[in-house]
Amino acid sequence: MSDLYRSALSARISKLPSLASNEDEDDENEEADSLGSLPGSGMGPPAMQVTVPSRSLDSRVYYTAPASADGTVMVCHHGAGYSGLTFACFAKEIVEMTRGECGVLAVDARRHGKTLSTSEKVDEDLSIDILVDDLVGVIQAVFPDPASAPTLLLVGHSMGGSVVVRCCPILLQHHYRITGVAVLDVVEGSAIEALPHMHSLLNARPDGFNSPEEAIEWHVTTNTIRNAQSARISIPSIVVPNPNPKGVLPYLWRTPLRSTAPYWSSWFKGLSSTFLTARTARILVLAGTDRLDNELMIGQMQGKFQMVVIPGVGHMVQEDAPTRLAEIMVEFWKRNERVVVGIKKVGDA
């Protein structure tokens, strides 16, 4: 990023509690991506578009490779409406804490971020099976040979948690090495119970914004994201210029959550049982202790997974507390990737 561009960008956003980038204006926005902490965010290799012909996708990924060929990569999938940049600050912490032994691959799901459909048909489907096949396809495109691929640790937030737990058995069948699966702040029972109230909750969200800076400010002032630094990086990727030049609001949501309503049930139904039966180490990270459903309560008492509660954060745990979450995940990784021979991994049957 040139000094001139940095100066112009800083002047433009000086009124905000954080740095902001105005995405989707091609060259300038590729520069703006470099404000994050994933590759493509100034901290490593540039963001990449990965072609997945079998899925008719041109997928945006942010990838920091591990320092060694036998390292581990945390594969991160975001929640509905967000993008891979939601893991930017978390990724930076992971790489620094592990001194590069653990890399991070964060993806933009279809209809999110800069992932583009290459199909001639309009395909709005965001059902769970579609999202799972998409992520498997991206992993196979990035790591085509399971034998030489790094060990994978799957991390998913909210909707993304449901995606990664369902990807786990498929990847194992394809002979990828999976050292663990981490679900961030989503539980089947509470998610299903909340669905009837979602439209009411969405009524409190603005339909759009006057600028990306205003979108950042809204997320921070409403405590939707409690970390202004992370919001500066992640939020510009989830709003787009209004295609209607006469529209009241210059910027709209890239992925309006109301448009995903037909798929909500598919995302969360069966999540608990799928998580508990994943044939790898399992960890559930929550923002509150009152979110376990009965199936997970029983599983926890039986020692089937590790659970950690992070106090003082909201639903966006990876953005609100990236350092604390990274500490948790690095500890989980070390325990299960470098486990002493003969000692069962956390969550092993």
Q: In this structure, what CATH number is given to the domain that contains residue 190?
A: 3.40.50.1820
Q: What is the pLDDT of residue 3?
A: 35
Domain-embedded: residue 179: yes
In a domain, 308, yes or no: yes
182 domain-assigned: yes
Query: Catalytic site residues?
Result: 158, 185, 315
In a domain, 172, yes or no: yes
**Which of 305, 309, 287, 318 has its CA nearest to residue 94?**
318
Q: Give the C-alpha separation, 111 to 119, whole Å.
A: 13
Run means of pLDDT, 10 residues per run, the chain, 349 residues: 34 36 40 41 65 96 92 97 96 95 96 94 90 98 96 97 98 97 96 92 94 97 96 96 91 96 96 97 89 90 96 96 98 79 44
Does some domain include residue 55? yes
CA distances to 159, 209, 275, 283, 303 from 180, in Å: 18, 39, 11, 8, 15
Structure confidence at residue 250 (pLDDT): 96
Would 138 be classed as within a structural domain? yes
pLDDT at position 338? 56
Which H helix or E strand runs over 274? helix 271-276
Whether 313 is in a domain gets the answer yes
* Residue 90 backbone dihedrals phi, psi, to 5 degrees: -60, -45
Cross-strand bridge partners of residue 286: 309
Number of domains in the chain: 1
- The predicted pLDDT at position 161 comes to 98
Closest CA to 135 of 224, 199, 31, 57: 57
Position 315 in a domain: yes
Range of the domain at 126: 3-337
| Number of Cα atoms under 13 Å in the Cβ half of residue 187 | 21
Nearest C-alpha neighbor of 114 from the set 62, 175, 42? 62
pLDDT at residue 246, as a whole number = 86
The predicted model scores a pTM of 0.86
Q: What is the rounded end-to-end Cα distance, in angstroms, of the chain?
A: 49
